[in-house]
Amino acid sequence: MPVLSLPITPSLFSLYKLAILGAFTLVLVTTPLVRKFALQFGRVDIPSARKVHVEPIARLGGIAICLGTVVALLLALLLGGSQALPAEAVSSLLIVLMGSLGFFAIGISDDVFMLPPLVRLGMQAAVAGLVWQAGVRVEFVTIPGLGLTHLGWLSLPVTVIWLAGVVNAINWIDGLDGLASGVGAIAAATSFLICLYTGQVASALVMVALLGSLLGFLVFNFNPAQIFMGDGGSYFIGFLLAGVGITGLVKTATATAVFLPLLVLAVPLLDMSAVILARLRQGQSPFLADKRHLHHRLLKVGLPHRLTVL
């Protein structure tokens, strides 16, 4: 049986090690500081009928995730990454990073000001459109039996729907301690391996840094959680996963490449789709907050909190 081999040179291995350990350490150090700040200024998640926690929990944990990931990536680039990685790949990496900061800003604004759903969606579409304009876009799909199909003018709406869809899917599963960060970590690890196997080394760097940040955050976010990531965190995570789904996974023109991002993010995407359809069937707004999500249903049938997350 052939053994899977991943093309990691010593210089790339050093970069990936720096990114994951740097991000992990930064999040471990900064999360308690962010938690203290959130509690001091009343940025907490208040318990309600549709929420699982029974006492106020600090929000804004996404600040630590964002800071850890971005700083670790920039350090990796400054300490050799810009030479070890292809120039075009570094350019795409920076575009994805800027887009993730744009979505993070939208999420933090929602955490602080409680933006209306349509305003959030409009801002997401605007940032996603700018990312498309900068060159990170879904330009083709590879369909078995039909071959490579270029999207043409459909590239813009497909890219915007993909980016905003994944972001909201991650955001909507952030309903249990450690769930969104755990799913995000698994998706980041899987994407990292796929990117390595397909030779997308810069996208792999983004995913390993995100993985380090999420593992560090899980120390404080797993049940019983001391802090929540908030919309800023879920938007940041979702955009990085979706962005690498374009730059790292769909770049390989193989018959199954287009399905890889969908497989990696299958659980949150299917959960979001099912909930939206259920709300629309009952004549309700697709943005209505309720307890229809899969994790709510598992808790309802008696599954323990930690087992539901796992």
pLDDT per residue as tens digits for the range 206-218: 999 999 999 999 9
What is the separation of C-alpha 261 from the centre of its chain, rounded to a whole number of angstroms?
12
The answer to whether 27 and 216 are in contact (CB under 8 A) is yes
Share of the chain above pLDDT 70, in %: 73
Binned at pLDDT 50, 70 and 90, residue 161 comes out as very high
10-40 vs 62-76: helix crossing angle, rounded to 10: 150
CA atoms within 13 A on the CB side of 180: 31
CA-wise closest residue to 258 among 180, 146, 128, 99: 146
CA-wise closest residue to 28 among 178, 214, 271: 214
For 125, the token pair is: 């579409």
Q: What is the pLDDT of residues 227-236, one digit of tens each?
A: 999 999 999 9
5 or 115: whose pLDDT is higher? Answer: 115
Tokens 């993010």 locate to 265
Binned at pLDDT 50, 70 and 90, residue 46 comes out as confident
Binned at pLDDT 50, 70 and 90, residue 262 comes out as low
For 176, the token pair is: 């249990």
Whether the CA torsion 282, 177, 267, 229 is positive or negative: it is: positive
Choose from 11-20, 26-35, 80-89, 147-156 the range with maximum mean pLDDT: 26-35
pTM of the model: 0.85
- Torsion, Cα 95 99 105 111, to 10 degrees, reads -140
- The continuous run of DSSP H or E covering 69 comes out as helix 62-76
233 or 264: whose pLDDT is higher? Answer: 233
* Mean pLDDT confidence for 263-268: 64
Neighbour-count burial for 224-249, b at 16+ CB within 10 Å, e otherwise: ebebbbbbbbbbbbbbbbbbbbbbbb
The answer to whether 188 and 265 are in contact (CB under 8 A) is no
Give the chain's radius of gyration (CA, Å).
Answer: 19
179-197 vs 155-172: helix crossing angle, rounded to 10: 140
Binned at pLDDT 50, 70 and 90, residue 95 comes out as very high
Asked whether the predicted pLDDT for residue 293 surpasses 60, the reply is: no
Helix, strand, coil: what percent of the chain each, to 5? 70, 5, 25
The answer to whether 131 and 88 are in contact (CB under 8 A) is no
Binned at pLDDT 50, 70 and 90, residue 124 comes out as very high
CA-wise closest residue to 179 among 145, 218, 140: 218
Count, residues in the chain: 310
Asked whether the predicted pLDDT for residue 150 surpasses 50, the reply is: yes
